[in-house]
Structure 1
Amino acid sequence: MPDQNEGIRDARESTPSAEFTAPVHHAPRPAPEEPTVIVDPDRRLSPAFLIGLGVVALIIVVAIVFGIRSRAHDASELTHVTHEDAIEAVDVTTASRGAKALEIVLPVNTQAYIDTGIYARTNGYLKKWYHDIGSHVQQGELLADIETPELDQQVQQARSDLATAQANLEIAQITAERWKKLLAKNAVSRQEADQATSDYAAKQSALASAQANLGRLQQLQGFEKVYAPFTGVITARNIDIGSLIQAGDSSSLRTELFHMAATDRLRMFVPVPEADARFVKNGDKVVITSDAAPNQKFEGAVVRNSDSIDLTSRTLNVEVDIENQDHKLLPGQYAFVHIPVPAEDRSLTLPSNTLLFRAEGLRVGVVRDGKVDLVPVTVGHDYGATVEITSGIDDQDQVILNPSDSLAQGQPVRVETKPGAGA
């Protein structure tokens, strides 16, 4: 057997790439035995173990209860926040007691105290003019001469007619007296005497007519000279030398010769609104300002008013006069009349941004018990940023500032500012 083993070893060594593995047989291992747990029915748990177990259970229960309550609180808080967010938040204010004193500022046009056009009262040609626009003239000062050749001839004819009438009257008088004497002697009939007396009376009337005609023509001849009817300034000259002049007036199409204005005193007609008419009294002093005279104030006076409201404009026509000796204001100038209005303690003042313009009328939103109450109000004066409220609310009401157009009656709201914060 040694030879055989050697031959096998030699063969293994001679062939190193070949591996030879002999089968190995292992005996099966026995299965491990499971530990045997022996429960002693008479053995009890220790108190420390029970306490620990109770603490753990309590912690678990507390954790569960806290989590449930936390979730319930979060849900309630979310519901509350959602409900609060659904309610509109508003700012409120309260009305101020007593309206402030103010003045009504009304635009007007200044007018000359006397403003008139000057027309010719006779026909002819312009011979000469003496004053141009801007000239200040005194009453009775000569403005122009008119040449009237036709009128001059008419005057000469009227004088001749008057002389004829006087001669006829003299002969009629002599005849009437002669017939009266003859009638006394019964030399003529009464009829013939009456005819002579009647002819004398007719000649008297003819003489009077001739005198009146001559006087009329002489009066027209006096219009050859055009005089200033009042003291003032020439504002327009519409004729020149040689211009044809025709008699006329403001109701005809004739051209006016001059236009004059008395500017030492000006007048203004102010349309005062009906609501403020009660504040205007004759004799009241007012202030006049003009953009053409910045930083200057002029004092005027209410001299008269129409004492009636115009049905079309609903205004009271008031005349204000102002002395203008220094001519700082000009006729036709744009100006402003400041009429003082006294304060009233019974009225209230609210910001203008509290008003709601609805189809049913003017309203303000008042917060009462967390809900909106749309209250009708009456506005007095408009001060710009604020308005006067004469009825509808009192000074304790919480009035909503900047109300939305969708604000409705009874709508829940949440007040975010204290009353008066927005006033």
Structure 2
Amino acid sequence: HATSAKPHRRLWPFALSGLAAVLLIVGIVPRLHASAALTEQTQAQSMLSVSVVAPRPAPAVNELLLPGAVTPFAEASIYARTSGYLAHWNTDIGTQVKSGQTLATIEAPDLDAQLRQARADEATAQANFDYAKTTAQRWQEMLKTQSVAQQDADTKVSDMEARRAMLASAQANVAHLAELVSYEKITAPFDGVITARNVDVGALVTAGGTPGTAGMSGELFHIQQNGVLRVFVDVPQNDAPYVTPPTGVYLTAQQYPGRRIAAKVARSTGSIDPSSRTLRVEIDVDNKDGALLPGAYTQVHLQLQSTTPALDLPVSALL
């Protein structure tokens, strides 16, 4: 029995060694495969894949998109030129008016009385001049027959000239007061739309007021001309040489998606603003249909003509 157990004891260490080797192989081999796969994947990702494209000549016309604000072609603050009480007004905000149309009427009875007095003074001056003129003519006739002295005849002629000057002064005073009376009717300076009315019936208005923007003291009405609108844009210095009156341009607005509003380049300042390095350009828009409103935001599309087109590449090539 002792002889048979001894070989078994000798095989036991070999069995343990074999089992350890198997376990080691089972644990290492998958790791080796994972490491190899990771290395292969890393090498594949490290290779940059690109698409090759050949540059081509850029189009001769490039579109420049700039923001713009719509402004009226003309606007004015209307003030009173005659002091008095507002009798009535004829137009309210949003009213389309024509040039010369009466907007309101002012009552100024004291001014009317002054005009009547001035006309009476003019009539008196006219009568005095006519009498002096007739007298001077008579004395000139008598001077021919030596019936009167030369000095007396000259005195009558001088009196006539003085009466003539007094008549001219009276006529000028009448014209001045008549002009002030005509300002009792406030009229529109041009065709447009009333955008502000700052006075009501019975209000006391004074001549003059403070000129300036809408809302300042003394302004009665504010009017804007919207048949033709102006849009000002600031063109960058690099594109400024290509913006001229023949340059094609159209507008787009958010409230009219897909619509192109025809416009034209009217004029430019002809100089670069040193603070922003841009060229101020004015664009006129025919707005007879009233599609655009002054003060609205719009986008300006300028069609720039290039005499030396560059090469054209996809945007993705510049990443």
Tell me whether the two structures share a fold, i.e. TM-score over 0.5.
yes
CA distance in structure 1 between the partners assigned to 2:56 and 2:257 by the alignment = 35
Which whole-Å deviations, capped at 9, do the CAs of 1:339-378 have from their partners, x for residues lacking one? 0234676534678xxxxxxxxxxxxxxxxxxxxxxxxxxx
Do the aligned partners of 2:56 and 2:313 also contact (CA within 8 Å) in 1? no
1:102-141 to 2 correspondence within 5 Å? Answer: 102-141=62-101
Distance 1:231 1:130 in 2: 15
- Provide Cα deviations, 1:197-217, integer angstroms capped at 9, x if missing partner: 011011112112211211221
Q: Is the 8 A contact 2:248 2:304 kept in 1?
A: no
Q: Please give the secondary structure, in 1, of the residue aligned with 2:219.
A: coil
SS of structure 1 residue aligned to 2:264: strand
- State how far apart, in whole Å, the 2-side matches of 1:229 and 1:329 are: 22
Check if 1:161 corresponds to 2:121: yes
The separation in 1 between residues aligned to 2:172 and 2:205, in whole angstroms, is 25
| In structure 2, distance between residues paired with 1:174 and 1:278 | 75
Q: Which residue of 1 aligns with 2:303?
A: 340
Equivalent residue in structure 1 for 2:55, among 77, 93, 96: 96
Counterpart mapping for 1:37-52 below 5 A: none
Distance (whole Å) between structure 1 residues aligned to residue 54 and residue 229 of structure 2: 43
In structure 2, what is the equivalent of residue 376 of structure 1?
none
Distance change in 2, residues 1:331/1:187 (3 Å): same
Extract unaligned runs of 5+ from structure 1.
1-87, 352-384, 387-419
Instruction: For structure 2, list consecutive stretches of 5 or more residues without a partner in the other structure.
Output: 1-45
CA contact (8 A) 1:98 1:344 kept: no
Change (3 A) 1:346 1:120: closer
Aligned CA distance change for structure 1 residues 208 and 346 (closer, same or farther; 3 Å) = closer
| Partner SS for 1:275 | coil
User: Distance in 2 between the 1:306 and 1:319 partners?
Assistant: 8
Q: State the SS of the aligned residue for 1:257.
A: strand
Q: Report the number of matched residues.
A: 270
Q: What residue is the counterpart of 1:308 in the other structure?
A: 271
The one-letter code matched in structure 2 to 1:308 is S
The residue type equivalent to 2:260 in the other structure is: K
Higher relative contact order (CA 8 A, sep 6+): 2
Deviation of 1:249 after TM superposition, in Å, equals 6.3
Match of 1:260 among 223, 232, 235: 223
Q: Is the 8 A contact 1:288 1:297 kept in 2?
A: yes
User: Partners in 1 of 2:309 and 2:131 — Cα distance?
Assistant: 92
Distance (Å, rounded) in 2 between the aligned partners of 1:227 and 1:148: 17
The two structures have a TM-score, normalised by structure 1, of 0.58
SS in 2 for 1:182: helix
Contact 1:264/1:324 (8 A) holds in 2: yes
Residue 282 of structure 1: SS of its match in structure 2? coil
CA contact (8 A) 1:99 1:344 kept: no
- Distance between the aligned counterparts of 1:181 and 1:346, measured in 2? 93
Residue 172 of structure 1 aligns with which residue? 132
Conservation of the 8 A alpha-carbon contact between 1:282 and 1:304: yes
Q: Contact conserved, 1:106 with 1:270, CA < 8 A, in 2?
A: yes
Give the structure with higher Rg (CA).
1
TM-score with structure 2 length normalisation? 0.75
Asked if residue 223 in structure 1 is aligned to residue 186 in structure 2, the reply is no
Alpha-carbon distance between aligned partners in 2 of 1:344 and 1:220, rounded to the nearest angstrom = 60
Tell me which amino acid in the other structure corresponds to 1:257.
L
Aligned-pair identity in percent equals: 44
Deviations 1:157-185 (A, max 9, x none): 10111011012112211321232233333
Structure 2 CA distance for aligned equivalents of residues 200 and 258 of structure 1:
49
SS, match of residue 238 in structure 2: helix
Letter in structure 1 aligned against 2:296? Q
Say if 2:188 is the partner of 1:197: no
Residues 236-293 of structure 1 show CA distances to partners (whole Å, capped at 9, x for unaligned) of 0011111111222663775121111121221112222221112212133311012233
Contact 2:75-2:224 within 8 A present in 1 as well: yes
Residue matched to 1:273: 236
Q: Does structure 2 retain, via aligned residues, the 8 Å contact 1:97–1:346?
A: no
**Residue type of the alignment partner of 1:244:** L
Q: For the Cα contact (< 8 Å) 1:97–1:345, is it kept in 2?
A: no
* Deviations 1:300-349 (CA, angstroms, capped at 9, x unpaired): 11122233333333322222111112212100111111102346765346
Cα displacement (A) at 1:138:
2.6
Contact 2:237 2:278 in 1 (8 A): yes
- Superposed CA offset, 1:23-74 (max 9, x none): xxxxxxxxxxxxxxxxxxxxxxxxxxxxxxxxxxxxxxxxxxxxxxxxxxxx
- The 1:331–1:283 alpha-carbon spacing in structure 2 relative to 1, beyond 3 Å, is same
Deviation at 1:298, TM superposition (A): 0.8
Q: Which amino acid aligns with 2:78?
A: I
SS state at 2:146 partner: coil
Question: Structure 2 vs 1, CA of residues 210 and 128 (structure 1 numbering), >3 Å: closer, same or farther?
Answer: same
For the aligned residues, what is the CA RMSD? Answer: 2.9
